[in-house]
Structure 1
Amino acid sequence: MDNYFYGWYFKCQSETQTLSIIPAVHRSGQKKSCSIQVITKNHAWSVAYPAAAFHRTGKDIWIGKNQFGERGIHLALHTPELDICGDLRFGALCPLKYDIMGPFSLFPFLECRHSVQSMKHLVCGSMNVNGQEYSFQNAYGYWEGDEGHSFPKEYAWTQCGFPGGSLMLSVADVPIAGFHFRGIISAVLWKGKEYRLATYLGAKTMLAQEGRLRIIQGDLELEARLLEKVRSPLKAPVHGDMARTIHENAACQACFKFRKGDYTLFAFKTNQASFEYELRQ
């Protein structure tokens, strides 16, 4: 494939601090490169690397001296705009029971494939970001990934860890063979039980506007509402080229509600949600 990208999204969050890190490799035609993006509650940075800086060792990936994998993250990244160094160690990962894409994982020509490596795991360690210490002791971690050639033209994505659980929800325009449909993938981990809402299981979007999402599947209903403007600019792929700018809040105010039949499993407001909202009204 001439055009492609592959990236991981790591989120580490304590009660007071959030740090998200996105290592990625991308190719557009003969142009191949890699990058590391770093996001905090109020800032975002993107650092480009030559393709030769990327390599694998076992289950880990390296970009320069920076290492990422199931055991944790090591960063030693020094530029005029971003100076970050430190180590974060991960506890046991919590993967989903099966691929979040379900049968769509078998489709050969999807523009973007999503994966979830861990819904929730412990994070310990520290990172120094431009002189500010980010300390994580028995903190919360989340890990997902994307690969393909382009991010969806329109989509919304949110993720949140909370006492007793974790959730992720994505609603996106999916083009296949000249047709388009609104695809849904969502996983909810609640008190040790995994729930899944997805297009391939009959999920439907009942509301997707003004930062609000409402998904129904049988007797399950999941609602998410963004309560503030998305602000941090990130780079995203278009045919393998990191030429698109999207916006994300790594830690923002949002409301979530999850119901099964007449019973509300949880409903809460938080200031620690991650949210990207690229849907037209």
Structure 2
Amino acid sequence: MGRIKNIWNPDNFQGKHEKKEYFEGWYFKLVDKEEENFLAIIPGISIKDDGSSHSFIQVNDGNNNKAYYIEYPYKDFTYEEDKFIVKIGGNLFSKDKLILDIDTNDLKLKGKLEFKNNVEWPVKLLSPGAMGWFRFMPFMECYHGVVSMNHDIYGNININSKTINFDKGKGYIEKDWGTSFPKTWIWAQSNHFSKENNSIFISIANIPFIGREFNGFLMGLLHEGKLYRFTTYTGSKINKLKYMDDSIEFTVSDSKYSLHVKIIKHNTTRLISPKNGNMNGTVEESLTSSIEIELKNKKNNTIIFKDIGRNSGFEVKGRLI
């Protein structure tokens, strides 16, 4: 019963009954009010049947372009059955707060952050979260959830003797679970536009499906309290996807709106990604890229929103065909 209930609670831990070739991880993106400090904190688990199962916390220090992967025993991973509260050692992760207590030779990271005014992706009976009806498919390689598109941060973190005040900063939380990340993908996210509380999330990936493959995508633009969704399952289409040396450009549209996007890459850090449950893949991630967007009403060709997102997370793995 818990497994079925969790379909409509994608934030919660989904892997209770998994015994091999499985991963699950949450992604916390943190930017301070002054937009001078950028961190991504990624707690998760890697399950294998060969004795190598473990839990982990991965950290992307966007200020110094450094990444850390801290491995913990699998037994150090605990969770609440009916809500998103995960603990790894002395660290706690939820949609409302983050408590960090990491002490290694390379990284000392301690502090407590609270999240307020969370904007969650809608969960409906036939569309339980960002995956839409694909969430009901039991054989997907990778599932995705958006825990909070945008929220305010309060609290402090001390990283390697440097104290960062995150009061009135901006945050984003998402998660992935399954066997492997896709073989190719594009991911980007920003909460920083010329006006507050606008956000964008972009995910395009190669999806293996019943012996075939297709390019699936999930995109959400939060503007003035309205979430504009462009997804495979809502019938949206991507046109003119172009790869350039340091940027990617495309247009996505549905029956009512079109969204033109140009993502410009800045400094990147190499992170670890999952493959067949193992954390042995890699991807380059930036926390300081930019996203140029233009949202149009197709009926009268008027511009609804045009802006540039700062402090953008950005990953590119391979090339989508």
With the shorter chain as reference, the TM-score category is: over 0.9
Instruction: Give me the whole-angstrom Cα distance separating, in 2, the residues matched to 1:166 and 1:271.
Output: 10
How far residue 214 of structure 1 moved from its aligned partner, in angstroms, is 2.3
Gaps of 5+ in 1: none
Q: Is the 8 A contact 1:13 1:141 kept in 2?
A: yes
Most deviating of 134-143 and 252-261: 252-261
Kindly indicate whether the alpha-carbon contact (under 8 Å) linking 1:84 and 1:128 is maintained by their aligned counterparts in 2. yes
Retained in 2: the 8 A contact 1:230–1:275?
no
Query: What residue is the counterpart of 1:159 in the other structure?
Result: 189
Cross-structure match for 1:254: 291
Match among 73, 76, 90 for residue 101 of structure 2: 76
1:59 CA drift (Å)? 3.3
C-alpha spacing 1:133/1:258, structure 2 compared with 1 (3 Å): farther
Give the superposed CA RMSD.
1.6
Task: Pick one of 92, 104, 107 that aligns with 1:67.
Answer: 92
TM-score, normalization by structure 1: 0.95
- Matched residue type, 2:307: F
Deviates more, 1:206-215 or 1:3-12: 206-215
Indicate how the Cα distance of structure 1 residues 29 and 205 shifts in structure 2: closer, same or farther if over 3 A, else same: farther
In structure 2, stretches of 5+ residues that fail to align are 1-17, 124-128
Runs of 4+ with >3 A deviation: none
CA drift of 1:277 comes to: 1.1
How far is 1:13 from its partner? 1.3
* Equivalent residue runs for 1:1-281 within 5 Å: 1=18, 2-14=20-32, 15-30=35-50, 31-41=52-62, 42-57=65-80, 59-98=84-123, 99-162=129-192, 163-210=196-243, 211-229=248-266, 231-261=268-298, 262-280=301-319
Q: Deviations 1:191-231 (Å, cap 9, x if unpaired)?
A: 01111111111111213332223212223222332323562
Distance 1:122 1:168 in 2: 17
> Residue 4 of structure 1 contacts residue 26 of structure 1 at CA under 8 Å; is this kept in 2?
yes
Q: Deviations over 1:113-153 (max 9, x none)?
A: 00011111110111111122222111111111100010000
Distance 1:145 1:226 in 2: 22
| Distance of 2:115 and 2:289 partners within structure 1 | 24
Tell me which amino acid in the other structure corresponds to 2:314: F
1:78 is displaced (CA, Å) by 0.8
Distance 1:195 1:69, change over 3 A: same
TM-score, normalised by the number of residues in structure 2: 0.83
Equivalent residue letter for 2:316? Y
Q: Retained in 2: the 8 A contact 1:230–1:276?
A: no
Distance 1:214 1:29 in 2: 43
Residues paired across the two proteins, number: 281
Encode CA deviations 1:225-244: one digit per residue, 9 max, x unaligned. 23235621111100000010
Distance change >3 Å, CA 27–CA 222, structure 1 → 2:
same
Q: 1:80-137: per-residue Cα shift (whole Å, max 9, x none)?
A: 1111111111113211122111110000000000001111111011111112222211
One-letter code aligned to 1:266: F
Q: Is the 8 A contact 1:230 1:277 kept in 2?
A: no
**Closer/same/farther in 2, CA of residues 151 and 45 from structure 1, 3 Å limit:** same
Supply the distance in 1 between the matched residues of 2:94 and 2:165 (Cα, whole angstroms): 19
Taking only the aligned residue pairs, the percentage that are identical comes to: 30
Secondary structure at the residue paired with 2:167?
Answer: strand
